[in-house]
Chains A and B, each alone.
Chain A
Amino acid sequence: MSPSHGTAPPACKLLVDGLTKSYGSVVALQPTRLEVPAGEFLTLLGPSGSGKTTLLQMICGLVEPNGGRILIDGRDETRTPVHKRDIGLVFQHYALFPHLTVAENIGFPLRMRGVAASDLDRRVREALDMVHLGHLGDRFPKELSGGQQQRVALARCFVYQPSVILMDEPLGALDKKLREQMQYEIKRLHRETGATIIYVTHDQEEALAMSDRICLMNHARIEQIGTPHDIYARPKTAFAADFIGVSNIFRGRIQQDDGGAPILVTGGGRFRLSAATAASGRGEASLIVRPEQLDLDGEGDNEVSGQVVDTVYAGSETRVLVALGDQSTITVRLRRGMSPPPLGDRVAVRWRSDAGVLVS
C-alpha cells in the first residue's frame, strides 16, 4: 500500500496476514495485513470502534480471530494460547495485581517462566531501576500514584523481554502533563531495549510524537500506514487528513482551464493546482490544505474570502477561523508577529498552487 511498506524490512518481527474478526454480523476487523520490522515503534491510531483494540487483542491472543494468521519471528502463533505467546501487553488500566507488591508484580512473569530465585531478584531490581522506582519495590500498587503504577506496568512488561510489546492506550488515564512525561519515558525504554512495540492510541498528537510508523485505522480496516511525516504531509484520504492535524478540505472536481492547466472547481471558487499536486487526483477530489499553508491577506495564487468568526490562541500559535460564503469554515494559522483581526472583519485567505494535497 504505502511506499515504505513495499521495501522488504530487515527482519520481520511480526506479520499479521489476512487477520479478521467479526461478532455476529458486526465486523470488528476486516481482513488485514500488517508487517512490523524488529525494533520498530508502530502506533495503531484511530477513533474508537476502528478495530485497533481488536487487532491488538488478537495479536496477544485474548481474542480469537475468525481467519488469518499471526506470525512472530516467522512462527505461526495464531492458535498459541495467550500464556505461551512471547508477547507483553501493557493494559489501559495497568492491571497490576492488587494483592502483590510492586516487586512481586514485576517478578510474576519471571516466576511463571521458572526463573531461578537469585536471577529473579536481580532482574526485578534492574527493571525497577530502569523505571526509576528502585525504592518502591515493597509497596502495594494502590499505594502508588497513577504515573508510578504506569511505570510498574511497564517494568512488569519489559522485565521478561518479550518478542513484541503491545500497549493498549497505556497513558489514557493520566493527565496531560504526566502523559507527556511518560511518552518520553516509553520512548527512552524503546531506545534502550530495542524492543518491538505496538502502541494503541486515539490521541493523534501522541501518535505523531512517539511513532516510527503510524497505522491509521478506520471502519475496521487500515486507512494508511506510514511515518508520522508521511501521513501528515501526504494523507491519502480525507479521513486521514482530517484525523491527523487540522485540515481545510475543499471538495470539487478537477478540470482544465483555458490554458490547459489543472484547476479544482468547487462551490466556493476555482483553485489552481500545480502539476505535481494535480497528479494524485482525477475527477471528483478533495484539496487538503493545512492551516500553516494558508495566509491571511498575504501571498498566493488561490484566494477565498470570508468573515472572521473566531480567533483561538494556543500559546505557540494563533488560529483564525474564517467563515466562507458557502457556510463552511476554514482554519488559518496567523503569521508570526501579526495581530489577530477583529471579529467580523472581511479577510482574504490565499495559498500557493503547489500547497496542499489532493485526495480522491
Chain B
Amino acid sequence: MSAAILHGSAEGGLRQRLRFGPLWLAAPGIAFLAVFFIYPVLRLLGLSVQDAETGAWTGDHYARIVDTGVYFRVLMGTFRIAGLTALFSLLLGYPLAYWLAQLPERRRGAMVLAVMIPFWTSYLVKTFAWMVILGRNGVINGILSAGGLPAPEMLHNEFGVMVGMVHAMLPLAVLTMLPVMTGIDRRLVQAAETLGAAPGHAFWLVYFQLSLPGVAAAGLLTFISSLGFFIVPALLGGPQQTMLAQLIITQIQEMLNWAFAGALATFMLVSALVTCWVYDRVFGLSTLSGEGARRKTGGGGMRKAGQRILSALAALTAAAARVTAPVLGERGRDRLPAIYSTLVLVFLVAPAVVVVPIAFTSSPFLDFPPPGYSLKWFEVYFGSDLWLGATLRSFGVAFATAILATLVAGLAALALARSTSRWRGAIFALFLAPMIVPRIVIAVGLFYLFAQIGLVATDLGLIIGHTVLALPFAFVAIAAVVKGHDWRLDQAAATLGANRVQTLMRVTVPLIRGGLVAAFLFAFITSFDELTVAIFVSGGVKTTLPKQMWDDMILQLNPTLASVSVVVFVIVMALLLIAERLRRSGR
C-alpha cells in the first residue's frame, strides 16, 4: 500500500518536473520582471503607507489626497478625461475598424498602415504637431482668419486635451478592435438576413454582439493608457486639465515627496487594476491576447437588458435608414462608410504631415504655411552636440533594449507556447503586466530603486527601464507567431536526427524569424520613443532624444523641434515598415 503511494507520488513528481521543464526558459524574464518591475512597484506602494521620517505605518498621505480639494479634483479630472478619451476613441474608431475589417485583405493591409503610423509615432511628435495646428497662430486659426472668421482658443483647454488624447488613443482602439472584427464570420450576418433580419437588426443583434469583446478590450486599453498620460495634458491643456501623472512628476521632481507620490501612484495603479478586474469578470482577460473570449455564463438579467437595448438600437437604425434612404440613395449609403473612414484616417495622419513643411521653414517661428523654405533648422539639429548626443544615446539604448527584450521575450514565448502548466496563465499575465500598469508608476518605482543602487543617469538604468516597458510588445509579437507555428515540424526534425539545439536553430528560429524581427523592432521603437522613464532616469548630459524634445517643448517651441520630429518620424516609420513586412512574410 505504502509502496504504491510512494511509487505514485514519485511518478507524479517526475511528471510535474517534466511538465515544468520548458517553463525554465521563461525564468530569466520572470526574474528580470520580479526585480525591475514587481519589486519597485510594490516598494512604491509601500512608501505610500509609511511615514517618511520614522518609517511607521500611516494613512496620512491618502488622507491628504482626499482632504485637499485640489488633489481630489485632479483625481476626478483624470478619470473624467480618461473616460471621455476612451468613449470618443470607441465611438470614432468602431466604424473605422468595421470598415477596415470588411476590406479585402490586400487593401486592408495598406489602410491599416495608415492607423499603424500614428500608433507608432512618438507622442511628443504628435503633440508637437497639435500645438502647431491648434495654436493661437496655428494652422486652423490661420485658415479661419484668412476667411475673416474669429479665431477661437483651442489650446490649453479641455478641447485641446481631448483632441490630443483621442488622436493618441484612437489607433490603439482601432487596432484592438480590428482582429476581433476580422475574426467574425460575415456569413453569420448573411444568415441573419436570410432569416428575416433587416440590415440594422442583423448588425446590432449579430455582428455588434460578436464584436463586443474587441470593443471592451479597446475601451480597457485606452482608458488605462489615458490614466497615466502627462505629455498631452501638460502641453495641450491648461491648469484645469492637470492629470494625475503630472502631479506625480511634480511631487518627485520639485517636492521630493516620495511618499505622497507613492500614494498618488497607488490611486492610479488601483484604478487600472480595478478596471482590469471588472473587465476580467465580464469578458475574461484572455481576450486581450486574442485567445478568444471566455464565455461567461449567468448574468441572465444583465444579458436580457443588453438584448433589449440592442433591439431598441436596431429599431432606431432601421427607422433612421428609412428616413435617410431617399436623401442618400443607394450609392450614397454604400459610400458613407468609406467617406467617414477616410476622414478619420486623415485626422490620424494629418498632424504628422503638417510638421514636415515646418521643419523646412526659413522663419524662426512656427508659421504655417512657412513663408520660405530652408534647411537651417536641420543644420541647427545636426550642428548641436546636445541633440546629436541625445540621438546617439537613444539609438544605443534602443538597440540594447531591443536585443534584451527580444531574447527574454522570445525564450518566454517559446516556453509558454507548449506548456500546459497551471502557472502558464500567471506567467502570461506577468509578461503583459507592464503594459497595464501605468508607465509613470513603473518609472517612479524604478527611479527610487535606481537611486539606491546608483543606476540613475546611466545608460544601463535606461536600458533596464525600457526593457521592462518593451517586454509586453516583444512578447506579444513573438507569441503571435509562435502560436501559428507547426510543432510537428520540430518533431519531424527530431525524427530526422536533429537534437534540441539543432532543431531550435535550423527549424524553429527560421520559421518564427518574422516574429523575432518584429519584436526587435517594436522594442526598439518603444525605447526610442520613451519619455516617462527617461524623465527620471536620464538627466544632464545623459539625456535621450525624447527627453531633450520634452525639455525644449516645455521651455519654448521652435522649428528645430519640427526638424527633430521629422528625423524621429522617418526613423520610426522605416523601422515600422520593415517590421510589418517581415511580420507578414513570416506567416
A: residues with CB less than 8 A from B are 60-62, 81-85, 87-89, 91, 93, 95, 97-99, 108-109, 112-113, 156, 160
Please measure, in the bound complex, the distance between the C-alpha atom of A99 and the C-alpha atom of B586, giving whole angstroms: 10
Known: A83-B499, A91-B488. A108 touches B510 (CB 8 A): no
Q: Contact: B488 with A112, CB < 8 Å?
A: no
Please measure, in the bound complex, the distance between the C-alpha atom of A109 and the C-alpha atom of B502, giving whole angstroms: 11
Please measure, in the bound complex, the distance between the C-alpha atom of A204 and the C-alpha atom of B128, giving whole angstroms: 73
Q: Contact: B489 with A97, CB < 8 Å?
A: yes
* A-B pairs with lowest CB-CB distance, top 5: A112-B497, A95-B492, A109-B496, A82-B494, A89-B495
Chain B residues positioned under 8 Å from A81 (CB to CB): 494, 499
Residue-by-residue, is B128-156 near A (CB-CB < 8 Å gives 1, otherwise 0)?
Answer: 00000000000000000000000000000
Q: Contact: B511 with A99, CB < 8 Å?
A: yes
Identify which of residues 466-518 in chain B touch chain A, using a CB-to-CB cut-off of 8 Å.
486, 488-489, 491-499, 502-503, 506-507, 510-511
Q: Contact: B497 with A62, CB < 8 Å?
A: no
CB proximity of A286 to chain B, nearest CB, Å: 40
From B491, B495, B498, B507, residue with most partner A Cβ within 10 Å: B495
Known: A97-B489, A97-B507, A99-B510. A60 touches B498 (CB 8 A): no
Please measure, in the bound complex, the distance between the C-alpha atom of A85 and the C-alpha atom of B491, giving whole angstroms: 13
Q: Contact: B496 with A62, CB < 8 Å?
A: no
Q: Contact: A82 with B495, CB < 8 Å?
A: yes
Interface size bucket, B side?
A: 10 to 19
Chain A residues positioned under 8 Å from B494 (CB to CB): 61-62, 81-83
Chain A residues positioned under 8 Å from B498 (CB to CB): 83, 108, 112
Q: Contact: A95 with B499, CB < 8 Å?
A: no
A108's partner among B486, B491, B496, B499 (CB-CB below 8 A) is B496
CB proximity of B510 to chain A, nearest CB, Å: 5
Q: Contact: A109 with B497, CB < 8 Å?
A: yes
Given contacts A81-B494, A82-B494, A112-B496, 15 further A-B contacts (CB under 8 A): A61-B495, A62-B491, A62-B494, A82-B495, A83-B497, A83-B498, A83-B503, A87-B495, A88-B495, A93-B488, A95-B492, A97-B489, A97-B493, A97-B507, A108-B506
Please measure, in the bound complex, the distance between the C-alpha atom of A60 and the C-alpha atom of B493, giving whole angstroms: 12
Chain A residues positioned under 8 Å from B488 (CB to CB): 91, 93, 95
Q: Contact: A95 with B497, CB < 8 Å?
A: no
Chain B residues positioned under 8 Å from A89 (CB to CB): 491-492, 495
Query: Mostly helix, strand, loop or mixed at chain B's interface?
Result: helix
Can you give 12 A-B contacts (C-beta < 8 A)? A61-B494, A62-B491, A62-B495, A82-B494, A82-B495, A83-B493, A84-B497, A85-B495, A87-B495, A95-B489, A97-B489, A160-B497
Chain B residues positioned under 8 Å from A98 (CB to CB): 489, 511
CB proximity of A124 to chain B, nearest CB, Å: 13
Chain A residues positioned under 8 Å from B503 (CB to CB): 83
A95's partner among B486, B502, B506, B510 (CB-CB below 8 A) is B486
Chain B residues positioned under 8 Å from A87 (CB to CB): 495
Chain B residues positioned under 8 Å from A61 (CB to CB): 494-495
Please give me the residue from chain A that is nearest to B18 by CB atom: A64
Q: Contact: A95 with B491, CB < 8 Å?
A: yes
Please give me the residue from chain A that is nearest to B513 by CB atom: A99
Known: A98-B511, A99-B510, A112-B497. A91 touches B492 (CB 8 A): yes
Q: Contact: B491 with A82, CB < 8 Å?
A: yes
Q: Contact: A60 with B496, CB < 8 Å?
A: no
Chain B residues positioned under 8 Å from A88 (CB to CB): 495-496
Q: Contact: A108 with B493, CB < 8 Å?
A: yes
Identify which of residues 498-549 in chain B touch chain A, using a CB-to-CB cut-off of 8 Å.
498-499, 502-503, 506-507, 510-511
Please give me the residue from chain B that is nearest to A85 by CB atom: B495
Chain B residues positioned under 8 Å from A95 (CB to CB): 486, 488-489, 491-492
Please give me the residue from chain A that is nearest to B487 by CB atom: A95
Chain A residues positioned under 8 Å from B499 (CB to CB): 81, 83
CB proximity of B586 to chain A, nearest CB, Å: 10
Please give me the residue from chain A that is nearest to B499 by CB atom: A83
Please measure, in the bound complex, the distance between the C-alpha atom of A88 and the C-alpha atom of B498, giving whole angstroms: 12
Please measure, in the bound complex, the distance between the C-alpha atom of A98 and the C-alpha atom of B513, giving whole angstroms: 13
Please measure, in the bound complex, the distance between the C-alpha atom of A88 and the C-alpha atom of B497, giving whole angstroms: 9
CB proximity of A158 to chain B, nearest CB, Å: 12
Please measure, in the bound complex, the distance between the C-alpha atom of A82 and the C-alpha atom of B497, giving whole angstroms: 7
CB proximity of A142 to chain B, nearest CB, Å: 12
Please measure, in the bound complex, the distance between the C-alpha atom of A99 and the C-alpha atom of B502, giving whole angstroms: 15
CB proximity of B422 to chain A, nearest CB, Å: 15
Q: Contact: B496 with A156, CB < 8 Å?
A: yes
Please measure, in the bound complex, the distance between the C-alpha atom of A113 and the C-alpha atom of B495, giving whole angstroms: 12
Please give me the residue from chain A that is nearest to B510 by CB atom: A99
Please give me the residue from chain A that is nearest to B486 by CB atom: A95
Please give me the residue from chain A that is nearest to B497 by CB atom: A112
Please measure, in the bound complex, the distance between the C-alpha atom of A83 and the C-alpha atom of B511, giving whole angstroms: 20
CB proximity of A233 to chain B, nearest CB, Å: 36
Please measure, in the bound complex, the distance between the C-alpha atom of A83 and the C-alpha atom of B502, giving whole angstroms: 10
CB proximity of A2 to chain B, nearest CB, Å: 30
Please give me the residue from chain A that is nearest to B492 by CB atom: A95
Please give me the residue from chain A that is nearest to B500 by CB atom: A83
Please measure, in the bound complex, the distance between the C-alpha atom of A88 and the C-alpha atom of B488, giving whole angstroms: 14
Chain A residues positioned under 8 Å from B486 (CB to CB): 95
Please measure, in the bound complex, the distance between the C-alpha atom of A89 and the C-alpha atom of B489, giving whole angstroms: 12
Chain A residues positioned under 8 Å from B493 (CB to CB): 83, 97, 108, 112
Residue-by-residue, is B192-218 near A (CB-CB < 8 Å gives 1, otherwise 0)?
Answer: 000000000000000000000000000
Chain A residues positioned under 8 Å from B511 (CB to CB): 97-99
Please give me the residue from chain A that is nearest to B507 by CB atom: A97
Chain A residues positioned under 8 Å from B497 (CB to CB): 83-84, 109, 112-113, 160
Please measure, in the bound complex, the distance between the C-alpha atom of A108 and the C-alpha atom of B490, giving whole angstroms: 12
Please give me the residue from chain B that is nearest to A156 by CB atom: B496
Please give me the residue from chain B that is nearest to A92 by CB atom: B488
Chain A residues positioned under 8 Å from B502 (CB to CB): 83, 112
Chain A residues positioned under 8 Å from B495 (CB to CB): 60-62, 82-83, 85, 87-89
